[in-house]
Structure 1
């Protein structure tokens, strides 16, 4: 688990009385939340509880009807943002990286090109600088040898690791993971979680992870939020929420979650050599 700072870090994500509806359905119910810079937060809870919507609101992919959201010192508009690289871009677009359940790689671009595209178009890097950065982060996720491969030739686990490298290449201040192992075969889950484990332990980036991997959440999170019906029902350390939960609803949820043995992560083949595990901050 990440070490806790001696003094509280400034808030990097702040929700104030946020309400989100889809039509008449209330998805986020007057949510107020503050997440300090550098904190690693796991969001758990039943399907439909609003976990993924919280991430999408932070990224600016969803509209909301009430309250305010501030990320990395900038307000996130209540309106859904639709933007294109050639025109004006939201101020927070490069500050927040997100890895989705589906890999969303461009099939007509090579692995290297997929990672280099956004740094070049959004951050204004030269083609050479963008490619160099892409190679750097491919090495971090153990896929340097796949730089010229097409996404369709990779396994699901490899594609998700490319998606993680693509998010890291923007060097975001906030990194969001939305159930990134849910679309993977069970035997591929460990390699993706191993990459995220390295990022969590070695980078100072603020991270929010929606996950059903409870053992994994215990290992990397500083804080766990249990959500239900668009509200935070329980908020505490992994020990308080996952091991000794006081909240009865949390206990019932944890009893239903399939527990996987994530200790096998340590036995994952060394696609990321230990000597190369220092990520750029």
Structure 2
């Protein structure tokens, strides 16, 4: 066990899923899933399409209901049917978690600066000055300070995704979720987005959970890699254990297929 892994094993649990079941109709997507992630750990979640990876992120963010089990983020529960909560009770939990999606979901009628300041101003009730200061900070972090007054349509796909990352970070979440954030990008734009996430992983202390098919990237930034299939985690270990020398046959077959693409 590395010193980092040992330190994290002593850290408080930031994300906890216990016996979680999620079905769409008669199809079970998440099957009695147990998952515990300590504070500050960087975790890559890999596996074939349809294995439930993105659904796990959406459950942690509180975007999906579930039928059984329990979910906690930073010690606060995400109820089974969260949308029935009064919004005033929901907000303190949901805003602890930032999420960046495959598609950028920027507001097309707002500038880059306005896309980032909208939630801190309206949801966190920061002053305009404070919200603008955060936007400047995180635009600098993602290398787009010079695009503050541009509209999303004037940006490349990679730049839009970097704005989406800055927007999520501006809420100062305790947990960051990344859901295949490069899958909608042209290949030549993937590197710039991965570089930003790599810098965040190395420089920020927040907990991170990333769904990705970029295996070299996962190996570079993750403390831990989970392999998921049919709604269950079937392999859990260090990047070397899972990505370099996997002892799970299903994991080996998956990695061989990824390498052939």
Report the TM-score, using the length of structure 1 for normalisation: 0.88
Partner of 1:59: 61
Over aligned residue pairs, what C-alpha RMSD do you find? Answer: 1.8
- Per the alignment, residue 216 of structure 1 pairs with 217
Shift of 1:218: 0.2
Query: Whole-Å Cα distance in 1 between the matches of residues 92 and 148 of structure 2?
Result: 30
SS of 1:38's equivalent?
A: coil
CA distance in 2, matches of 1:163, 1:74: 25
Moved over 6 A (4+): 82-85
CA offset at residue 258 of structure 1? 3.6
Are the equivalent residues in 1 in contact too, given 2:82–2:90 (CA < 8 A)? no
Answer yes or no: is 1:164 the counterpart of 2:173.
Answer: no
SS of residue matched to 1:123 = coil
Q: What are the residue-to-residue correspondences of 1:31-50 with 2, within 5 Å? A: 31-50=33-52
Shift in CA distance, 74/103, structure 1 to aligned 2, threshold 3 Å? same
Aligned to 1:109: 110
Counterpart of 1:90 in structure 2 is 91
Contact 2:14 2:39 in 1 (8 A): yes
For 1:90, what is the secondary structure of its paired residue?
helix
Counterparts in 2 of 1:82 and 1:167: CA distance versus 1, 3 Å: farther
| CA-CA distance at 1:77 after TM superposition | 1.1
Is the aligned partner of 1:205 residue 2:192? Answer: no
Q: Equivalents in 2 of 1:235, 1:33: separation in Å?
A: 10
Tell me, yes or no, if the aligned pair for 1:215 and 1:259 is still in contact at 8 Å. no
Report the counterpart of residue 18 of structure 1 in structure 2: 20
Looking at structure 2, the residues matched to 137 and 211 of structure 1 have their Cα atoms a distance apart, in angstroms, of: 23
1-side partners of 2:162 and 2:34: how far apart? 32
Q: 5+ unaligned residues in a row in structure 1: which ranges?
A: 261-281
Measure, in 2, the Cα distance between the counterparts of 1:84 and 1:145. Answer: 39
Match of 1:122 in 2: 123
Following TM superposition, by how much is the alpha carbon of 1:5 offset from its aligned partner in structure 2, in angstroms? 4.7
For the residues of structure 2 that align with 1:105 and 1:2, how far apart are their CA atoms?
A: 39
Q: Which moved more, 1:132-141 or 1:186-195?
A: 132-141
1:264 is matched with: none
- Aligned equivalent of 1:246: 247
- Counterpart of 1:173? 174
The equivalent residue for 1:79 is 81
Distance in 2 separating the partners of 1:126 and 1:219: 38
1:81: how far off?
2.7
Cα separation, 2, equivalents of 1:8 and 1:192: 31
Deviations 1:159-203 (A, max 9, x none): 000000001101100000000000000000000000000000010
Please give the per-residue CA displacement for 1:236-280, whole angstroms capped at 9, x wherever unaligned: 0000000000000000000000479xxxxxxxxxxxxxxxxxxxx
Cα distance in 1, alignment partners of residues 86 and 202 from structure 2: 34
Bigger share in helix: 2
1:106-164, Cα deviation, whole Å (9 max, x unpaired): 00100000000011111110111101110110000000000000001100000000000
Q: What count of residue pairs does the alignment treat as equivalent?
A: 259
Between the aligned partners of 1:175 and 1:92, the Cα distance in structure 2 is 13
